[in-house]
Amino acid sequence: MLSSKDILYIRKKFPILKKKIYNNPLIYLDNAATTQKPIQVINAIKKYYTTINANVHRGAHYLSNIATNAIENSRLKIKNFINATYSEEIIFTRNATEAINLVALGMSEFLTQGDEIIISYLEHHSNIVPWQMLCQRTKTCLKVIPIDKDGTLQWEVFEKLISVKTKIIAITQISNVLGVNPPIKKFIKKAHTYGALVLIDGAQALSHLIIDVQNLDADFYVFSAHKMYGPTGVGVLYGKKNSLEKLLPYQGGGEMIKTVTFEKTIYADIPYKFESGTPNIEGIVAFSAAIDFIKEIGLNNIIIYEKKLLDYTTYMLSKINGIILYSKDIPRISIISFNIFNIHHFDIGIILDRLGIAVRTGHHCSQPIIDFLKILGTVRVSLSIYNTFEEIDNLYKGILKAKKILKQ
């Protein structure tokens, strides 16, 4: 179990945490939007540009081979981190959003009018809009699993929605608004009895949960490096090998081909079939360093510490008069959304910012949840391994100060 001394040691690896905001120490509680980067990730980017910098898969020269080996080693490391079966099941994208779009576009040719796609009320816009666009193109039907007031997916309704017409189900592993963690394995198992594919949006999960894609048995699993201490501009699509091989490429160009003539193009095998053009090489290399950072601490240690911190945050915020905590009575992962009665969420966020406390306000790119709750938005606190109990005490004091100012 991590001690307070261990957490202070971890914090020293994050240069930005020394920053002052309006002469106050930075308290960064917006980790669901993006995590901060440890020094080894920053150094990995610098090392790439100062010692390697060459394009990949295309050159016979020394630096090109080094660069190619570096991103392929990252692919292997990611494969092992999520326990995929094959390295070629790891596709590099710009982010989880692009990974979802890749699957949606790749499925276009396999859907016909009358087929159905199922998503849920918990989804980020990135796992809503691509499926809406796919339905418009293919004249298929989008169905939505409703939620209870606490954010629980309604299983009984899902059982009525799914049918032999269902071709793919796309659901989140952790809600980016409520932090709730649906029983996705149960949904996956049910979907497969109808022959439907399943895509899991794991963008909020990989730095907070141990993920074993073989155990989950999802057909596709997507995530972003920047939400797990890695750089922006790097995402991953995991797909079962047989599922990926059936998908059509969603964009064309160099690298994703075997042969090109003016009459016909033959596509490369996976993963390169989906990786056209020059990738974010330094970002992929630095993602490897982020995974090393997580493994160095131990994901189990992170899970235990963040659970204690989440419980403490919930306890402290619950003491504030007039606070509304969403989904507080069901298990959550590192995210708390709240409002203060008769105070706009944005106003609270602005005052906390002046105190050096970074939180997120608004609908968090998940407007259907906000509409379902019949509110304008929330204040979202999202935690990470470098956050401390003392920071939560300061958050508590900051909210009390905001209440006092805004009530005057």
Phi, psi of 268 (to 5 degrees): -70, 165
- Pick the catalytic residue from 76, 142, 316, 365: 365
Please, what is the end-to-end C-alpha distance for the chain in angstroms? 44
* Structure tokens given for 153: 């997916």
Task: Name the residue type at position 242.
Answer: N
CA angle 34, 37, 42 (to 5 degrees): 135
**Residue type present at position 136:** Q
- The C-alpha atoms of residue 176 and residue 380 are separated, in whole angstroms, by 9
Q: Are the C-beta atoms of 267 and 256 separated by less than 8 Å? A: yes
Structure tokens at 152: 């629980």
The full length of the chain comes to 408
151-190: buried (b, 16+ CB within 10 Å) or exposed (e) per residue? bbbeeeebeeebeeebbbbbbbbbbbbbbbbbebeebbeb
Q: Which residues have a Cβ under 8 Å from the Cβ of 183 and sit 6 or more positions away?
A: none
Q: What is the DSSP track for 29-56?
A: -BTTT-----HHHHHHHHHHHHHT---S
Is 365 in the active site? yes
- Residue at token pair 């390697």: 52
What's the CA gap between 299 and 207, in Å, rounded?
A: 7
What is the rounded CA–CA span in Å between residue 92 and residue 90?
A: 7
**Residues recognised as catalytic:** 365
